[in-house]
Amino acid sequence: MARIDVVLHRACVAITAGLVLSSAGCATNGANVASFFGGGPAKPKSVVVSDFELAPGTVSVDGGLAPSYRRKLGKVTPDQLKAELNTAVNEAVAESMVATLTDGGLPATAGSGEAVDGECCSVVVSGRIRKVDNKDQMKRRLSGLAPIKNNVTAEVKLSQEASGARKELLAFVGDDGVKPPAAANVASSATANAAPATTASTGSETKLTLSVAAEARRIGKVSANRILAFAVEQGWIAKPSQSAAN
């Protein structure tokens, strides 16, 4: 009788484990199995960089859109100009972020976060671009870090689709002074040494002013470095050797 009870118990455990994995809807590779048994989030099949919200007053139309591009637009309403500015800033952020994430070993693309609803194990990057405030500077001082030199930063969120629900994995402010690991440093170096970005341009005509385009690319790069640091911690990507990091 005791042996029968043990057999039945093992069978129940096996059936329960099978139901958990099948309901998760993800491939049962090592990383994904670990994620559902307390081993951390599953390695993403894709990383989608979605549009960031541009907080009011962060960038003005006059200071953000290149004069030549405004002339090309012709007669448009103020709301249309704001929409063009928002689109151009997001293009610049996404291009820089995708390039850095890809260099670091993550399968990143720009797109809509809604497009991956229900798609298992995809990770979505979203956020809000805003001006640096006193709380940001206070946090830096309390942490013993140098003051933030830039006027604009981003609140970034990393979430993942799994089991039909989206779970937040990471949230951070882009300029919190945390040093990225070797993986992010390698990506930063590769991106910095690459050919000049063609961000937010139509043909040879740039949409953004040089200063705003540079700031948008910086936000994308800094944010991507933090995501790569998280990816190393989770085992999604391998930490490069010391020789590769140098």
Asked if pLDDT for residue 192 goes beyond 60, the answer is: no
The confidence band for 8, taking pLDDT boundaries of 50, 70 and 90, is very low
Higher pLDDT, 48 or 22: 48
Question: Which ranges in the chain belong to alpha helices (H)?
Answer: 2-24, 30-36, 61-64, 67-73, 78-103, 134-142, 182-192, 210-234, 242-245
Higher pLDDT, 205 or 134: 134
Going from the C-alpha of 225 to that of each of 62, 97, 130, 156, 168, the distances in angstroms are: 30, 9, 19, 12, 18
Q: What is the mean pLDDT of residues 111-119?
A: 69
* CA angle (221, 222, 228) in 5-degree steps: 85
Going from the C-alpha of 47 to that of each of 107, 126, 162, the distances in angstroms are: 6, 11, 14
Structure tokens belonging to residue 82: 């704001």
Helix (H, G, I), strand (E, B) or coil at 49: strand
State how far the Cα of 123 lies from the Cα of 121, in Å rounded to an integer: 6
What are the b/e assignments for 144-158, b being 16+ CB within 10 Å?
Answer: eeeebeeebbbbbbb
Averaged pLDDT of the chain: 76
* CA angle (42, 46, 50) in 5-degree steps: 115
In 10 A of CB 18, how many CB atoms? 11
Asked if pLDDT for residue 17 goes beyond 60, the answer is: no
pLDDT at 37: 41
Q: What is the mean pLDDT of residues 148-168?
A: 85
Going from the C-alpha of 29 to that of each of 21, 149, 200, the distances in angstroms are: 10, 44, 39
